[in-house]
Amino acid sequence: MTSTNRFASRLALSLAPLAAAASLALVGCAADDVTALGDENAMAAEGLGLGAQGKDVRAVYEHLRRFGYYQNEELAEHYADWTPAVSREPADPARFDEALEEGVRLYQAQHGLPVTGIVDAETQRVMHMPRCGHPDYYDPPGVVPTFEVGTPYSHAGGTWSSSALSYRFDNYTSDLSQSAIRAAVQSAMLRWSTVTKFTFTEVTSGGNIVIGFYTGDHGDGSDNAFDGKSGTLAHAWSPGSGIGGDIHFDDAESWSTSSSGTHFETVALHELGHALGLGHSSYDYAVMYPTYSGVDVYLSSDDHAGIWSRYAAYNAPSGCGWLNAGEGLGKGESVWSCDGRFQFIFQNDGNLVLYKNGSALWASGTNGDGADRVLLQEDGNLVMYKSTGQKVWETDSNSTANQYANLAVQNDGNLVIYRSGGGVAWASNTCCH
């Protein structure tokens, strides 16, 4: 805890220091043009733009500076090769000039807001949401996304060289039972492992990912001190030894398994993304979007695309007869029945076909649809995806009852997805040959 891996990026889910901006006022506009948004947010609907001056402008500048838009010595120290998103500085941080407008435009683009260059009510609302301390517009060189230029996901730090990861609880919060904490973490890990080749095993000493709850300055540097209830919720470190991969939750929060407090599994799922090497996405539906806005425990296609841009999506099948949960097929790969009579192949044209002696018994009919991988997910669903994360086809056999299912390529010519506890979740109904 006391050692700091300089290659591990710190990622903090934190509330921006915008106390002063809570009373943003329109400059150069008659008082009766000002629309109060509420007691705490007496801000003009028209917003703050070019020519405005004062402490509210400075607060916007400080917010953007903190998250990577302007020169910042702390960010430069913590993030290798980091440079500000805006190459010039405002002449006066308390005066809204073109340099600040450029930063506001980039901020709006990162957060999926209309790009106006004006800090309007919606932009201010987003600035007030809890979020990570990870700088926006930061991709370490050499790890830029490879699938599509301009995809919203991003990377942070390095990657794990092994797919078998271990984790350990350093301590727990009194807000939740240990079994509830463990169940939430396992559920979050399952969501990542179901679309990757990662396995997560709990250990009682050591561990790649150490998980704990802390308050205030808790031993990983005063910069990383937690700040009491709300504000900073958690932070995580990107893959690496020592503190790399570790996830710290602010124990001053009211952690909850429902929406009544800060939803623990939601934050754990996001922080795990950082622990696996992802940065932030600009899609607000993505788990890796910078801000926290309530319960969200489902990875989006953008999260899939992000993790697949760093790691293989599946384990290749080992041996005949089966696809086990977490295994899949790339283009041209196949599983044979153990008697060698039936071939289940994901063809280069994107079609998934079961052949007997060169004649098709069953096919998904997805040739030309652009899928480039097939996964037997740990939720029991057999899914064909594009590398962008878009689902092309599925057996629709996902169910909690199907966890750790297996797909059998049987000697009788039937394809069957068996539930882990027994029973059939899906079948091609091509028996018996």
Q: Which residues bind Zn ion (CB under 5 A)?
A: 11, 132, 220, 224, 248
Q: How far apart are CA 388 and CA 67, in angstroms?
A: 27
Nearest approach, Cβ of 306 to Zn ion (angstroms)? 12
Orientation angle between helical segments 264-275 and 301-308, nearest 10 degrees: 30
Q: Per the residue annotation, which of 253, 271, 327, 378 is the catalytic one?
A: 271
Nearer to Zn ion (CB atom), residue 219 or residue 421 = 219
271 among known catalytic residues: yes
- Tell me the β-bridge partners of 36: none
Q: How far apart are CA 344 and CA 337, in angstroms?
A: 8
Nearer to Zn ion (CB atom), residue 97 or residue 250 = 250
Interacting residues of 273 by C-beta distance below 8 A, sequence separation 6+: 192, 287, 288, 303, 306, 307
Measured CA angle at 68 (ends 290, 91), to 5 deg: 135
Sole residue written with tokens 């805890």: 1
Nearest approach, Cβ of 156 to Zn ion (angstroms)? 8
Indicate the residue whose CB is closest to Zn ion. 132
Neighbours of 33 (CB within 10 A): 10
Q: How far apart are CA 199 and CA 39, in angstroms?
A: 49
DSSP string, 296-346: -----HHHHHHHHTTS-SSBPP-SSSEEETTBEEETT-EEE-TTS-EEEEE
Nearest approach, Cβ of 135 to Zn ion (angstroms)? 11
Nearer to Zn ion (CB atom), residue 266 or residue 387 = 266
Nearer to Zn ion (CB atom), residue 135 or residue 389 = 135
Whether 372 and 387 have beta carbons less than 8 Å apart is answered as yes
Nearest approach, Cβ of 289 to Zn ion (angstroms)? 8
Nearer to Zn ion (CB atom), residue 12 or residue 371 = 12
Nearest approach, Cβ of 430 to Zn ion (angstroms)? 46
State the catalytic residues.
271
